[in-house]
Amino acid sequence: MLSKFLLSSFSILAAYAIDLDTSSKDSICSAVSTISDGILDYYLGTRYGGNVGMFQQPYYWWQAGEAFGSLLDQWYLCEDKTNEQLLYDALVSQTGDNYDYVPLNQTETEGNDDQGVWSFAIMSAAEKGFPSPKNSGVPYEWVELAENIFNSMFGRWDDECGGGLRWQIYDTNVGFDYKNSVSNGCLFQLAARLAKYHNDPKYTYIADYVWEWTTDVDFLTEYDDTIILHDGAHTYANCEDITDKEWTYNYGLYMVGSAYLYNYTGEQRWLDRTNKLLHRSNEIFFNNNVMYEQQCQRADSKSVCNNDQRSFKSLFSRCLGLTSVLAPSTRSTIESLIEASAKGAAASCSGGSDGVTCGIDWTMNSWDGWYGLGEQMSAIEVIQNLLIADRPAPLTASST
């Protein structure tokens, strides 16, 4: 009896697993809708007494920005307005008193990378033509909010280690003495996007400045055919104690920033850098074209990724999709990686009591027992980016 019951239970779950046809927009968007429901299971903003723009513990504020970026991509790529008002309310709720996404509720915890991840979503709102924040009384358009973030972040550039942003904003926080690739990568991609959006070489200069500092401090090492990008180092060691870990989202940020600069300037060096970052990413973050976080995912599926790390593939997938649009010569390579990864991600979304909860390991062709906001965000981004070639390229000031 027990064996029959278990078999029956697994059959029921299998019936609810996500069935993805990567050639069908309807199938892709159906999968995306199911996964976005799973994202919103963790959202506090629709609960009685919950905070708009915030997700439940143990998820940090930066992951809220990451999640809303994913929902914005759903709105755009699937042309799905189901969550438009929820998304709009969330994005305007966290602007802060200075409209730079340093809200009072995060003054003790926010880092430069946190603000930078929010900048990705806010700049995307400008590039995708999302309804104006001025409709809610905010005195700025989305791109102006992104400019405020840029000015806030770049204003923290200091002379320790010859320049660069620290990981943390406040000197009371652990990590204030650490400078890292993600904080500076967020600034780099935002400068590159503002350069293209405004046709303004001032931002190109600053993006180049960030790249050169990242190279000078040896976080980023460029070779003839590849680029190695490390995590960061401590100011007390003059940034010489480099942490040699390589994460998907760091590569994604520098890759998409390079692609924006290539698309805007037409300079070969930026296409070369885009290709080198893609080459290294393909080399270390994919197993038979299926994406994985090699620094913490194990071949035996015994992941040691923490809550933050379990969402890195989300930003990476978003960056890959944009790169394929901005640097068309990368498209065939990226599309093959996204398609294989999307199939694996969909197969992983077959767990939990609902039968559609997503896991972290996309190589198993089934659920691996892991679940959480990061797993949902990673799956939704890689699946919905199957559609990015069919939608218009990012808007600019002259095309809005």
Please give the pLDDT value at position 182.
99
Backbone conformation region of residue 353, classed left if phi is above 0, alpha if psi is from -120 to 50, else beta:
alpha
Please give the pLDDT value at position 302.
74
The mean pLDDT value for 14-22 works out to 80
Q: How confident is the model at residue 10 (pLDDT cuts 50, 70, 90)?
A: very low
Task: Answer whether 228's CB lies under 8 Å from 280's CB.
Answer: yes
Please give the pLDDT value at position 56.
98
pLDDT above 80 (res 173): yes
Query: Domains of the chain by range and CATH?
Result: 156-283 (1.50.10.20)
Alpha-carbon dihedral 175, 251, 200, 165, rounded to 10 degrees: 10
Residues 6+ apart with CB under 8 A from 48: none
pLDDT above 80 (res 171): yes
Q: Collapsing DSSP states into helix, strand and coil, what is residue 291?
A: strand
pLDDT above 60 (res 4): no
Q: State the alpha helices, DSSP H only, in the chain.
A: 2-16, 25-40, 61-77, 84-93, 112-128, 142-154, 181-198, 201-216, 248-265, 268-284, 312-326, 331-348, 373-384
Q: How confident is the model at residue 7 (pLDDT cuts 50, 70, 90)?
A: very low
CA distance 228 to 214: 11
Q: How confident is the model at residue 301 (pLDDT cuts 50, 70, 90)?
A: low
- One-letter amino acid for residue 114 of the chain: D
Please give the pLDDT value at position 223.
98
* Phi–psi pair at 293, nearest 5 degrees: -90, 90
The mean pLDDT value for 43-57 works out to 97
Q: How confident is the model at residue 107 (pLDDT cuts 50, 70, 90)?
A: confident
The mean pLDDT value for 66-92 works out to 99
Please give the pLDDT value at position 14.
46
Q: How confident is the model at residue 8 (pLDDT cuts 50, 70, 90)?
A: very low
3-class DSSP string for 352-375: CCCCCECCCCCCCCCCCCCCCHHH
Segment (H or E) for 105 = none
DSSP 222: E
The mean pLDDT value for 47-64 works out to 97
Positive or negative: CA dihedral 361, 365, 370, 375: positive
Q: Which of 129, 138, 261, 133 is nearest to 190 (CA)?
A: 261
Residue with tokens 């900048």: 119
Percent of the chain with pLDDT over 90: 94
Q: Which of 109, 110, 86 is nearest to 100 (CA)?
A: 110
Q: Are strands 220-222 and 227-229 parallel, antiparallel or unpaired?
A: antiparallel
CA distance 76 to 325: 15
Q: How confident is the model at residue 5 (pLDDT cuts 50, 70, 90)?
A: very low
Please give the pLDDT value at position 254.
99
pLDDT above 70 (res 249): yes
Q: How confident is the model at residue 21 (pLDDT cuts 50, 70, 90)?
A: very high
Q: Which of 96, 45, 91, 94 is nearest to 70 (CA)?
A: 91
- One-letter amino acid for residue 308 of the chain: D
pLDDT tens figures, 95-106: 999 999 999 999
Burial 246-276 (b: 16+ CB within 10 A, else e): bbbbbbbbbbbbbbbbbbbbeeeebbbbbbb
pLDDT above 50 (res 243): yes
